[in-house]
Amino acid sequence: MRLTAEGAATRIEGPLLFLRRTLDVGLNDAVQVVGGDGRTRLGRIAAIDESFMTIEVLESTSGLALSDTVVRFFGEPLTFGLAPSILGRVFNGVGRVIDGGPPVAARQTQRIEGLPINPVQRAAPRDFIETGVTALDLMNSLVRGQKLPIFSGGGLPHDRLAVEIATHARLRHESATGGDFAIVFAGIGVPYDSAEFFRRSLEQFGALERTALFLNLASDSSTQRLLTPRFALTAAEYLAFVEGKHVLAILTDMTNYAEALREVSSSKGEIPSRKGFPGYMYSDLASLFERAGCIRGVKGTLTQLSILTMPADDIGHPIPDLTGYITEGQIVLSRDLDRRAVYPPIDVLPSLSRLMKDGIGERYTHADHPALSSQLYAAYARSVQARVLASVVGEEGLAATDRQYLAFGTAFENDLVSQPEARTLEQSMEAGWRLLAGLPAAELTRLSDAQIAAHVAPRGAVRADAKR
């Protein structure tokens, strides 16, 4: 069904277009608004009553006039036509092919809003993904089907890290290119060079033909940004749950998405909540982030690695804050580490992978993995405390143990977090044990006697009197 209304517009206000209702249409149905300028814009029916309807135009309304605006009704909500051949293609933020090739011959269409996965049908994500990054593999393991964002800041190397993870990620005992693997990349309001960096890197690693790119560049309409991740995730869900691929979806930058949400909300005159963001931002972000996971009896999985830049590096800002409440952990990048040339500059303490516990340990990685990472966390937290202490009373004013912690902290950042090249999990664990050997055994309360005897004692000269 495709019906048209001409000359029915009565009012335009920000993104809202008011029409006399001449047709029987349903709430949330998609529309195409064509202005006198010939440009088409997507929209949806946001409210209807007996005589009028309100259309939320999802792209810029500037240039529209009351007299010559034509509205075409789709008779159904926004959908995206999908086929395996979306891989290797480039789309704009609203799912139109922009790589000069022919349109995708759709095998099926899906609503871009998606539907909530029934929790009963979810399978708990368990497959440990080796990324080669110690701060992840050892300390904050990623598992297939997880949604784990990178909390970054302007100018930090999050793009490089994301590309490395995407191209290196593999199950143990499986090569990076093996397995039925696909990438869905959504650039949301990103600068051209950043999008180009991703495209080129993926090309370099030969991953481009396994990738579907969705690009809403910084220069594109900001209202479209609300649609870009929806088109991308619809594609990702299709590839994972219909085509059975292991999909990694990279959404960047979610901060631009949230800002577009604020912009649209305020132009609709909604009551703002914290920092002007709408009160429903939590639910709205959740409707994106929850589109990840594993489904019982389905081979494919959908893992989300989104990037967001924390405004003013503030993790308490509503965007990272709400995201952290939704995602299954976060990887936090630190400007301080970056300044000290630690790469990847991952701030381990505020970072967290909630699904780690399900994907590591005896049956999955290594029996000592959980205890080792817990002990490293405890020791590093102590060393950060010692650092604060030292900054006031000076290093000489510290007790002997605190001095050892101080040294541990430095080594932790320089030798464990910082890494010149990818490490296997075994290499990462080895680095961890070696660091712990620099602390007195009495301090290692998170390790069992057996673990100390097997891994720490042989690697270091731990003296019983080291404490003094």
Partner 1 sequence: MSRASIRSISGPVLHATVSGPFRLREAVEVGPQALLGEVVRLHDDEIVVQVYEDTTGLRPGAEVVGHGLPLAIRLGPGLLGNIFDGLLRPLSGADSAFVAPGMHRAAPSTFAFEPRVAARDTLAPGAVYGIVTAASGRAQRCICPPDVGGEVVAVALAGDYREDATICTLRLPDGRTHELAMGHHWPVRTPRPVRRRLPSIVPLVTGQRIIDCLFPVAQGGRAAVPGGFGTGKTVLLEALAKGCNADVIVYLGCGERGNEMAGVLEEFPQLTDPKTGRPLMERTVIVANTSNMPVAAREASIYCAITVAEYFRDQGQDVALMADSTSRWAEALREVSGRFGELPGEGGYPAYLSSRLADFYERAAIVETLGGDHGSVTVIGAISPPSGDLSEPVTSHTKRYVKAFWTLDAKRAQARFYPAVHPLQSYSEDARDLAPWWAANGNGDWLKLRRRFLTLLDDQAHLERMARIIGKDALPLRQQLTLLCADLVNDAFLRQSAFSPVDRVCSPRRQALMMRLVGRFVDLAEAAVAAGVHPDRLGELPSLRPLQRMGEDIPDAELARFAALEANLDRDFAELMRSHGAGDATHR
Ligand X SMILES: Nc1ncnc2c1ncn2[C@@H]1O[C@H](COP(=O)(O)OP(=O)(O)OP(=O)(O)O)[C@@H](O)[C@H]1O
Residue 152 CA, chain-centre distance (Å), reads: 11
User: Does the protein bind partner 1 through residue 54 (CB under 8 A)?
Assistant: yes
Can you say whether the dihedral through the CA atoms of 9, 10, 15, 21 is positive or negative?
Answer: negative
CA distance 253 to 10: 36
From 159, 358, 368, 413, residue interacting with partner 1 (rule: CB under 8 A): 358
Residue 235 CA, chain-centre distance (Å), reads: 16
User: Does the protein bind partner 1 through residue 432 (CB under 8 A)?
Assistant: no
User: Does the protein bind ligand X through residue 357 (CB under 6 A)?
Assistant: yes
- Shortest gap between Cβ of 420 and partner 1 (angstroms)? 27
Contact 352, 148 (CB under 8 A): no
From 67, 100, 105, 115, residue interacting with partner 1 (rule: CB under 8 A): 115
- Shortest gap between Cβ of 354 and ligand X (angstroms)? 3
Q: Which does 378 bind (CB under 5 to 8 A by kind): ligand X, partner 1, none?
A: partner 1
Residue placing its CB nearer to partner 1 in the complex, 217 or 242:
242
Q: What angle do CA 341, 139, 153 make, to 5 degrees?
A: 45
User: Does the protein bind ligand X through residue 354 (CB under 6 A)?
Assistant: yes
Q: Which does 66 bind (CB under 5 to 8 A by kind): ligand X, partner 1, none?
A: none
Residue placing its CB nearer to partner 1 in the complex, 45 or 86:
45
Which burial class, exposed, middle or buried, applies to 421 when counting CB atoms under 10 A from its CB (0-12, 13-18, 19+)? exposed
Q: How many CB atoms lie within 10 A of CB 372?
A: 24
User: Does the protein bind partner 1 through residue 403 (CB under 8 A)?
Assistant: no
From 27, 65, 367, 454, residue interacting with partner 1 (rule: CB under 8 A): 27
Give yes or no for a cis peptide into 344 (omega within 30° of 0): yes
User: Does the protein bind ligand X through residue 192 (CB under 6 A)?
Assistant: no
Residue 196 CA, chain-centre distance (Å), reads: 19
Q: Are strands 346-353 and 329-333 parallel, antiparallel or unpaired?
A: antiparallel
Q: Which does 119 bind (CB under 5 to 8 A by kind): ligand X, partner 1, none?
A: partner 1
Among the residue ranges 92-100, 244-252, 260-268, 442-450, the one whose residues contact partner 1 (CB under 8 A): 442-450
Nearest residue to 34 (alpha-carbon basis) of 1, 10, 67: 67
Contact 307, 254 (CB under 8 A): yes
As a dihedral over the C-alpha atoms of residue 258, residue 260, residue 262, residue 266, rounded to 10 degrees, the angle is -170
CA distance 32 to 452: 67
The Cβ-side half-sphere exposure at 83, using a 13 Å CA radius, reads 7
- Shortest gap between Cβ of 317 and partner 1 (angstroms)? 8
Contact 112, 224 (CB under 8 A): no
Cα-only R_g, the chain: 25
> Mask 268-307, x = binds ligand X (CB under 6 A)?
----------------------------------------
DSSP, collapsed to helix, strand or coil, labels residue 371 as: helix
- Shortest gap between Cβ of 282 and ligand X (angstroms)? 11
Nearest residue to 290 (alpha-carbon basis) of 242, 249, 243: 249
User: Does the protein bind partner 1 through residue 66 (CB under 8 A)?
Assistant: no
- Shortest gap between Cβ of 202 and partner 1 (angstroms)? 28
- Shortest gap between Cβ of 271 and ligand X (angstroms)? 25
Residue placing its CB nearer to partner 1 in the complex, 217 or 315:
315
User: Does the protein bind partner 1 through residue 48 (CB under 8 A)?
Assistant: yes
Residue 127 CA, chain-centre distance (Å), reads: 18
Residue placing its CB nearer to ligand X in the complex, 93 or 320:
320
The residues in 117-156 that bind partner 1, with binding defined as CB under 8 A, are 117-125, 145
Q: Which does 67 bind (CB under 5 to 8 A by kind): ligand X, partner 1, none?
A: none
What are the structure tokens assigned to 275, written together? 């920092």
From 200, 325, 340, 350, residue interacting with ligand X (rule: CB under 6 A): 325
From 106, 335, 377, 427, residue interacting with partner 1 (rule: CB under 8 A): 377
User: Does the protein bind ligand X through residue 349 (CB under 6 A)?
Assistant: no
Residue placing its CB nearer to ligand X in the complex, 204 or 374:
374
CA distance 240 to 184: 11
Residue placing its CB nearer to partner 1 in the complex, 90 or 288:
288
Among the residue ranges 210-218, 285-293, 334-342, 425-433, the one whose residues contact partner 1 (CB under 8 A): 285-293
Containing H/E element for 110?
strand 108-111
Residue placing its CB nearer to partner 1 in the complex, 124 or 454:
124
Binding site for ligand X (CB under 6 A): 325, 352, 354, 357
